[in-house]
Structure 1
Amino acid sequence: MSGDKIIRDPIYYDIHIKDSEMSLIDTLEFQRLRNIKQTGLTYMVYPSATHTRFEHSIGAMHIAGEVSKGLKGVDCDLIRIAALLHDIGHPPFSHSLEIRGYNHEYYTRKIVKKMDIENYSPREVIDVLQYKGPEGSLIGGDIDIDRIDYLLRDSYHTGVAYGSIDYNRLIKCIVLFEDNKPKLGILEKGVVAAESLLIARYQMYSSVYMHPTSRISETMLKNAVIYGIEEGLFEVRDLSKMDDIDLISILRDSEGESNKLIKMLDRRKLFKNVLVVRYNELSPYEKWILINLGEEEIRRIEEELSEKFNTTVFLDIPPYPKISEHRITVLAGERRYRLDEISPLAKNLKWAYMKSWDVRLYSPPDRYKELREKIDSTKLKEILLQFRDRCMESPILDILRREDRIRGRGKLLSIVKERGLSESEFLNELQKLIFSGLIREEVVKVRGIYRYDYSALEG
């Protein structure tokens, strides 16, 4: 390590950088990340949240190296490089602008494919980024290095008293085991440290990532960019080469709706929240429809409401919370458990996540008082009915309605695969159905092991 360069970091203090890694950091593609904010427009609420994807990527590389030191069969250098490059395809303002089919993972692979990486081929790095091999499990597992760094870093830069993780203890308890393929888990003695990760993420989710003002600001920015694309200012793929400064400059110099919205953001003249529909106020069918709506369908709903009230209205449907940490495998001797099987905290936090999710409707500030008295959830729910037939298609739900109850996730997966769903599609749809309340997942203890049973619920 004596010949390494050192980057000073507020979270980990000294981060050692090898020459091979420095050559990647110094590329134009990676330097672009200096001007892409990690948490989008969160700085509209927390002024110091101006940290970027640049330092997060370096921090993720550091955590990857620390974790891999204790894992046999893991190429430490390869996982550090993959972690360093894992966000290189992000659009300006990070996840705020994953719109019109933009997928940062796709553009990351596209950029990495053209990079000159010392000692490794681009294909080897891309395989890790696609979660292949033991190194891939560190990037995309139930507990991954990306999440550890962004929680610590976002907490530090927002200044909130959340996001505290006993990460030194946690990374020492991470182990690699075989379960058809290499998979990450934790030792039983690391359960409390894993719970600290759960608590940190829940608190950051509810108080920072889902803050009402951040959501309004990002909805306005997202629509300004959509208008910009429709006005011919740029194409979706151009976002992979732009940073925050490029994008804002183009929108400020434009005319039309995109310019109006960005000027409002510049003056912090934000849209107002005229309607909140909370998780418990929606039926399972309504929740299922909402989380399955595509961008064009959301646009149709906005246009219908905008025409009715003669003003611009934006509908904000956040992604449903994917709470994969609750599935962390805990190794206790010869037995394996899911974290939420043995941790009451993990089990209860799962439901707390769901119930903190809501749908919001925004209007221009000068129409706020008027529309707040006119708009209620009834009109929105009536509009949703027109999408019911298309959105209600679900192979898993069809199977459970026919079978009444299926004992064991493996059995349900095997039946679903016969219907043409892959394992990843199965897990994604299963999560959405559980979130919506259309199916029930029950944990049953059978001869010392846990089994997951599934049944359909009436909507």
Structure 2
Amino acid sequence: MGAKYCVEEFVCNNASPSTDDRRFSKHIHDNVHGNIYLDPISLKFVDTEQFQRLRDLKQLGFTYMVYPGAVHSRFEHSLGVYWLASEAINRLKTYQGLELDIDRFDIQTVKLAGLLHDVGHGPFSHLFEREFLPRVSNGMKWSHEEMSLKMIDFVVDEHNIDIDSESLKKVKEMIIASENATSNSFKEKRFLYDIVANGRNGIDVDKFDYIVRDSRACGLGCNFQFQRVLETMRVIEDEICYRAKEYLTIHKLFAARADLHRTVYTHAKVKAIDLMFVDAMIKANDVLHISSYIDEPAQYWKLDDTIIKAIETSSSQDLKESRDLVLRIRRRDLYQFCNEFAVPKDKLQCFKNVTPEDIICAQNSSHPTLDKEDIAVINVKIDLTRGRTNPLESISFFKDYESSEKFPIKHDLVSHLLPTSYQDVIVRVYSKKPHLVEAVSSAFENFQVKEYGMKTQVHATPEKKKRKQLRYNSAVGVV
């Protein structure tokens, strides 16, 4: 089961204006942050079918098929980001409220941005927008952030939510702040835009929540302490800065994120399932018209993870191929992982994504002839949020709480044990048909030799796997 939410309404009689508001608030217990309090305006958004849809979107898509505990939803995450955004802005107000002129308007918009930042998110984590839509719409660019903006407008109109246009404008700007980091439209209180989606250096409460929440759900440890970062942040020259002695704490934020990408989000079996379900959705698109839902919020909010059940339980002959792929996923008859290699560091700058066609061109004539439909290739990029550059170079620090100056810190002044390379690119190849695993593996090895002059054996070859299976069969008495 996912995290349980106990909802308890506050009822206060003889209320003053402030306590009267609490009659229309809710108290929620979250399994990561403890008690969360939803204010009246936020509750109006939460209690809509469009926001409640987030309960039916698993935060990590198909990851739960490898890590069984990873069944938490976008709903939980959104409440968590709302609460951390509230914590961040209120701490800044406590320490620097008069200096920064933080008012109730600022607090409310930051909290709403945290709450609504994912309201336009697609099904199956990022699979929908990054892998499915580009293949059925000729590479059209579509982002859940932009859909979130449209969904917010739709929810406000549909439910007659009383919120002024200026607040709404600020909320939407904060949600896409990471995409518009260099924009000059943020004329005042630029630091407010660093809280939910930080385009300047990547430190934001969205990451604080999902790193801790995802680690916990998957049963993994997490040595990043976001509480220390929240406690030490200060605004200097309209930018959120951090105490210099917390450099390594902040480094752990980026390292923990990269580790989750490597061990959870891009796990070889998780990606095999992703590849299969993308193929299933593509084959089903002409029948279910999945891609047509992205045009209007009025239709889009009806799209969620139940797509897999719609395919699986349909009796339509037109969906047979898709249904067969879902059945293979259920029975763990997955696309077979063949091998992978990390692109050499000196080749990263000129690296181009490897395609099935590249592997086919390197196949052996002695093996069965491969077709591009027999092979799946994924190019996994794992970094610290800034590609091949160090994100900590974009962060401003201060010496102590009496300081009024900000400055960068070079990593070699902190420790010589910190990494000097900030991105991995891993090429991973799968065979869609079990009997072609050896042929695909051989072609992939030939490609490595041809392209990079090397052949890696990170994982067992098909021959070694066969020998291992035979030894196991012999040990248990299987003929």
Which TM-score bucket, shorter chain as reference?
0.7 to 0.9
* Shift in CA distance, 156/317, structure 1 to aligned 2, threshold 3 Å: same
The 1-side partners of 2:69 and 2:290 are apart by 31
Kept in 1: contact 2:342–2:427 (CA 8 A): yes
Q: Which residue of 1 aligns with 2:327?
A: 263
Q: Which residue of 1 aligns with 2:397?
A: 330
* Shift in CA distance, 16/175, structure 1 to aligned 2, threshold 3 Å: same
What SS is found at the alignment partner of 1:375?
helix
Q: Which residue of 2 aligns with 1:442?
A: none
Kept in 1: contact 2:359–2:443 (CA 8 A): no
Q: Which residue of 2 aligns with 1:109?
A: 149
Q: Which residue of 2 aligns with 1:370?
A: 438
What SS is found at the alignment partner of 1:337?
coil
* Shift in CA distance, 268/69, structure 1 to aligned 2, threshold 3 Å: same
Cα deviations by residue, 1:33-54 (Å, 9 ceiling, x for unpaired): 0010111111111101000100
Equivalent residue letter for 1:321: D
Give the alignment partner of residue 200 of structure 1, picking from 256, 272, 276. 256
* Shift in CA distance, 285/123, structure 1 to aligned 2, threshold 3 Å: closer
The 2-side partners of 1:281 and 1:200 are apart by 21
Quote the offset at 1:320 in angstroms.
Answer: 4.9
Q: Which residue of 1 aligns with 2:8?
A: none
Q: Which residue of 2 aligns with 1:360?
A: 428
Equivalent residue letter for 1:94: S
Q: Which residue of 2 aligns with 1:172?
A: 231
What SS is found at the alignment partner of 1:255?
helix
Equivalent residue letter for 2:377: L
Unmatched tracts of structure 1, length 5 or more: 385-459
The 1-side partners of 2:326 and 2:410 are apart by 44
* Shift in CA distance, 17/285, structure 1 to aligned 2, threshold 3 Å: closer
* Shift in CA distance, 33/267, structure 1 to aligned 2, threshold 3 Å: same
Quote the offset at 1:222 in angstroms.
Answer: 2.3
Quote the offset at 1:63 in angstroms.
Answer: 0.5
* Shift in CA distance, 115/341, structure 1 to aligned 2, threshold 3 Å: farther
Kept in 1: contact 2:255–2:384 (CA 8 A): no
* Shift in CA distance, 343/114, structure 1 to aligned 2, threshold 3 Å: farther
Kept in 1: contact 2:59–2:124 (CA 8 A): yes
Unmatched tracts of structure 2, length 5 or more: 1-17, 93-99, 135-140, 178-185, 295-299, 453-479
Quote the offset at 1:209 in angstroms.
Answer: 1.9
Quote the offset at 1:166 in angstroms.
Answer: 1.7
Greater shift after overlay, 52-61 or 97-106? 97-106
Q: Which residue of 1 aligns with 2:476?
A: none
What SS is found at the alignment partner of 2:52?
helix
Equivalent residue letter for 1:39: L
What SS is found at the alignment partner of 1:91?
coil
Q: Which residue of 1 aligns with 2:467?
A: none
Q: Which residue of 2 aligns with 1:236?
A: 291
TM-score, normalised to structure 1's length?
0.72
What SS is found at the alignment partner of 2:169?
helix
Q: Does 1:78 align with 2:135?
A: no
Q: Does 1:215 align with 2:274?
A: no
Q: Does 1:31 align with 2:100?
A: no
What SS is found at the alignment partner of 1:98?
helix
Greater helix share, structure number: 1
The 1-side partners of 2:323 and 2:440 are apart by 26
The 1-side partners of 2:224 and 2:204 are apart by 13
Q: Does 1:6 align with 2:77?
A: no
Q: Larger Rg: 1 or 2?
A: 2
Give the alignment partner of residue 190 of structure 1, picking from 221, 226, 246. 246
Q: Give the alignment of 1:45-60 within 5 angstroms.
A: 45-60=66-81
* Shift in CA distance, 283/198, structure 1 to aligned 2, threshold 3 Å: closer
Equivalent residue letter for 1:238: Y
Kept in 1: contact 2:53–2:304 (CA 8 A): no
Cα deviations by residue, 1:277-296 (Å, 9 ceiling, x for unpaired): 21228834652x12xx8xxx
Quote the offset at 1:81 in angstroms.
Answer: 0.3
Cα deviations by residue, 1:101-130 (Å, 9 ceiling, x for unpaired): 331111111111223254443323212223
Q: Which residue of 2 aligns with 1:65?
A: 86
Equivalent residue letter for 2:194: S
The 2-side partners of 1:360 and 1:283 are apart by 17
Quote the offset at 1:347 in angstroms.
Answer: 4.4
The 1-side partners of 2:229 and 2:263 are apart by 24
Cα deviations by residue, 1:10-30 (Å, 9 ceiling, x for unpaired): 111100111111110111111
Q: Does 1:272 align with 2:293?
A: no
Kept in 2: contact 1:277–1:377 (CA 8 A): no
Quote the offset at 1:88 in angstroms.
Answer: 0.8
Quote the offset at 1:344 in angstroms.
Answer: 3.2
Greater shift after overlay, 258-267 or 299-308? 299-308
Quote the offset at 1:144 in angstroms.
Answer: 0.4
Q: Which residue of 2 aligns with 1:147?
A: 207
Equivalent residue letter for 1:171: L
* Shift in CA distance, 343/32, structure 1 to aligned 2, threshold 3 Å: farther
* Shift in CA distance, 373/104, structure 1 to aligned 2, threshold 3 Å: closer
Alpha carbon RMSD of aligned pairs, Å?
A: 3.0
The 2-side partners of 1:210 and 1:41 are apart by 11
What SS is found at the alignment partner of 2:273?
helix
Quote the offset at 1:264 in angstroms.
Answer: 1.4
| Total equivalences in the alignment | 369
Q: Which residue of 2 aligns with 1:224?
A: 280
Kept in 1: contact 2:208–2:226 (CA 8 A): yes
The 1-side partners of 2:336 and 2:144 are apart by 30
Equivalent residue letter for 1:259: R
Greater shift after overlay, 11-20 or 318-327? 318-327
Quote the offset at 1:216 in angstroms.
Answer: 1.5
Q: Which residue of 2 aligns with 1:130?
A: 176
* Shift in CA distance, 47/123, structure 1 to aligned 2, threshold 3 Å: same
Q: Does 1:41 align with 2:100?
A: no
The 2-side partners of 1:176 and 1:126 are apart by 22
Q: Which residue of 2 aligns with 1:318?
A: 380
Give the alignment partner of residue 128 of structure 2, picking from 84, 97, 112. 97
Quote the offset at 1:274 in angstroms.
Answer: 1.4
Q: Give the alignment of 1:396-411 within 5 angstroms.
A: none
Equivalent residue letter for 2:341: V
Greater shift after overlay, 49-58 or 117-126? 117-126
